[in-house]
Chains A and B, each alone.
Chain A
Amino acid sequence: MSGGGGTGADRERAVDPLAASMARVAAGDRDAFGEVYDAVAPKVLAVTRAVLRNPSMAEEVTQEVLLEVWRQATRYDPSAGSVAAWATTIGHRRAVDRVRSVRAREDREDRVVAGEGRVEYDEVSEQVLQHEDESRVRKALTGLTELQREAVVMAYWGGRTSTEISAQLGVPVPTVKTRLRDGLQRLRVDLARGEPAAGSAS
């Protein structure tokens, strides 16, 4: 396989109905922002909750993210993905930054113990795979190998870099990257097949 090579320019992506609303938001239209909010806020909250696992912190970050959507509306580029993916990307980034800064503080306080990575993964994967049973997350993740799933869950849900995952699992960085990349490719293929207009309306 060629890493999804041929799918680039010739591939049509479904037009995101929210993109038109975003154009109005960019002109300061608050009604349009309300539409965008209603469509994306639940998704952003789902992402921040998944990463932060602290409901009030997740709400706080979601609020920041939605205001960021307002502030940066003029910079939204429809060719770079759906509004929902744009917003959840910002949400993930922010949630991860939050988690990392908390962790950095904890690290300074010497609270990291060997083997923590494994414990964390078990905890996160329990959350992801069981708490949200029947969800598409679960369905999608069950298509991965155990090792891919571990890497993807630690990265996306656990907010870990590949370097951190490598250190925690005691596995070389390139191996972690390979697992992550293969797992993400698989998710991308499976989810695209499941629902072509993923992330847009509904």
Chain B
Amino acid sequence: MSRTGPGDETSGGGDVSGYDDGVHGLTPLYAVDALDPQEAAAAEAHLRGCAECREELVEVREAMAAAVAGEPAEPPSAALRARVMAALDDVPQLPALPAPLAPGAAVSAPAAEPAAAPVDELSRRRAQHAADDRPSAARSGGATGRRAPRRWLQGLAAAAAAVVVAGAAVTGYAALQWRDEARAAQQVAQAMTEVAGAPDAQVVDAQGGADGWGGSRVMVSRSLGEAVLVPTGVEDAPSGRTWQLWFVAGDAARPAGTFSDTGSAAVLSGAVDGAEAVAVTLEPAGGSESPTTTPVAVYPLTA
């Protein structure tokens, strides 16, 4: 392949086919975890809608995997294998996602409407029913994969009984508000009910979700300005660190509370406003004013 010399180091000017034109060019950098958290969130949001970039992401990742792992210096020890196999009992598998990403996407590269687009509860149910009728590798999650969204929504009631407000680490004014736990829990329950019932409610699955952050969902109503996190499969943050939620818009990330009670739903602090996504990062205990790590999960919101 005869490439034009990439020797042009001074930011490319106009000859690099618009690579600095925003989020499109972030993909290779995202593929090697070289983006700041806000940029990474933007890249993830973009990737959902851009099949070309998804393809590029895969290729860069494959290339780096092949490059670095081509010839391992020494094989992993037998002890490591034994430890991993022994630990399987302690690691429950995540249920399969109710709205399957794969079946359509695997065959036809999704164009304008990615299969993973956030959907309302109704279309989710429809997708679920359709998926139930067709045997599919992507739905081979077995018994644990049968968690129907209907049940999930009903489960909100149960979750609401054990809710806690996000922002446990917030002090002062917020802490005062927070003192009455029963009242707070009631508020969360009420918020969940309201959001779930709002005509513009969206239920968004995590994009990403590695690093101890499991298959949680975020439920958002723009008209109400409220967002609720319903955690499933979230592990406790490593000691000395905390999960922190963010409202992301453009380059900016607004803190939306820390999150420590991984078994309970939480209302995000602050209003949804123009947020394009909700993101989750691991932060030093107490939380940060802006994200300091790559998001473990991003929940892109529809406008």
Residues of A within 8 A of B16 (CB): 178, 182
Within the assembled complex, what's the spacing in Å between the Cα atoms of A5 and B71?
Answer: 30
Residues of B within 8 A of A152 (CB): 32
CB distance from B214 to the nearest CB of A (A): 8
Q: A161-B36, A178-B16, A179-B9 are in contact. Are A77 and B102 (CB under 8 A)?
A: yes
Q: Is the CB of A77 within 8 A of B68?
A: no
Q: Is the CB of B109 within 8 A of A74?
A: no
Within the assembled complex, what's the spacing in Å between the Cα atoms of A27 and B19?
Answer: 42
Interface residues in A, total, Cβ within 8 A? 105
Give the residues from 1 to 48 in chain A that come closer than 8 angstroms, CB to CB, to chain B.
Answer: 1-5, 7-9, 11, 13, 19-20, 23-24, 26-28, 30, 33-34, 37-38, 41-47
Q: Is the CB of B29 within 8 A of A85?
A: no
Residue of A nearest to B235 (CB): A71
Residue of A nearest to B284 (CB): A104
Asked if A147 CB lies within 8 Å of chain B CBs, one says yes
Asked if B61 CB lies within 8 Å of chain A CBs, one says yes
Q: Is the CB of B84 within 8 A of A85?
A: no
Spot the interface stretch: B91-99, B117-125, B159-167, B179-187: B91-99
Residue of B nearest to A45 (CB): B76
CB distance from B134 to the nearest CB of A (A): 15
Of B36, B80, B142, the residue contacting A41 (CB under 8 A) is: B80
Residues of A within 8 A of B34 (CB): 155-156, 160-162, 165, 180
Q: Is the CB of B65 within 8 A of A84?
A: yes
Total contacts A-B at CB 8 Å? 288
B-facing mask of A165-195, CB < 8 A → 1, else 0?
Answer: 1000000101101111111111111111111
Residue of A nearest to B116 (CB): A77
Within the assembled complex, what's the spacing in Å between the Cα atoms of A85 and B94?
Answer: 20
B-facing mask of A76-94, CB < 8 A → 1, else 0?
Answer: 0111111011001110111
Asked if A130 CB lies within 8 Å of chain B CBs, one says no
Residues of B within 8 A of A148 (CB): 6
Give the residues from 117 to 164 in chain A that come closer than 8 angstroms, CB to CB, to chain B.
Answer: 132, 134-137, 140-141, 145, 147-148, 152, 155-156, 159-163
Q: Is the CB of B87 within 8 A of A67?
A: yes
Residues of A within 8 A of B25 (CB): 3, 177, 181
Most chain B beta-carbon contacts within 10 A, residue among A174, A177, A193: A177
Q: Is the CB of B294 within 8 A of A8?
A: no
Within the assembled complex, what's the spacing in Å between the Cα atoms of A78 and B210?
Answer: 17
Q: A82-B62, A175-B10 are in contact. Are A137 and B68 (CB under 8 A)?
A: yes
* Main SS at interface, chain A: helix
Interface residues in B, total, Cβ within 8 A? 87
Residues of B within 8 A of A147 (CB): 9
Asked if B112 CB lies within 8 Å of chain A CBs, one says no
Of B28, B71, B94, the residue contacting A74 (CB under 8 A) is: B94
Q: A62-B76, A80-B54, A174-B20 are in contact. Are A28 and B93 (CB under 8 A)?
A: yes
Q: Is the CB of B66 within 8 A of A195?
A: yes
Asked if A101 CB lies within 8 Å of chain B CBs, one says yes
Q: Is the CB of A97 within 8 A of B293?
A: yes
Most chain A beta-carbon contacts within 10 A, residue among B51, B55, B83: B55
Cβ contacts A to B, 20 pairs, < 8 Å: A28-B142, A28-B144, A30-B85, A41-B76, A47-B68, A59-B76, A67-B84, A68-B211, A71-B93, A74-B141, A75-B209, A84-B69, A89-B65, A97-B293, A104-B292, A161-B35, A175-B9, A175-B11, A191-B63, A198-B66
Which B residues are within 8 Å of any A CB, using their own CB? 1, 3-4, 6-12, 16-17, 19-20, 25, 28-29, 31-36, 51-52, 54-56, 58-73, 75-77, 80-81, 83-85, 87-88, 91-97, 101-102, 105-106, 108-109, 111, 137-138, 140-142, 144-145, 209-211, 214-215, 233, 241, 282, 284, 292-294
Which A residues are within 8 Å of any B CB, using their own CB? 1-5, 7-9, 11, 13, 19-20, 23-24, 26-28, 30, 33-34, 37-38, 41-47, 49-50, 59, 62-63, 66-68, 70-75, 77-82, 84-85, 88-90, 92-94, 96-97, 100-101, 104, 132, 134-137, 140-141, 145, 147-148, 152, 155-156, 159-163, 165, 172, 174-175, 177-195, 198-199
16 further A-B contacts with Cβ under 8 Å, apart from A4-B56, A23-B140, A26-B142, are: A63-B83, A63-B84, A70-B91, A74-B97, A80-B54, A92-B33, A134-B71, A137-B70, A140-B63, A161-B36, A172-B11, A175-B10, A179-B9, A180-B28, A185-B28, A190-B63
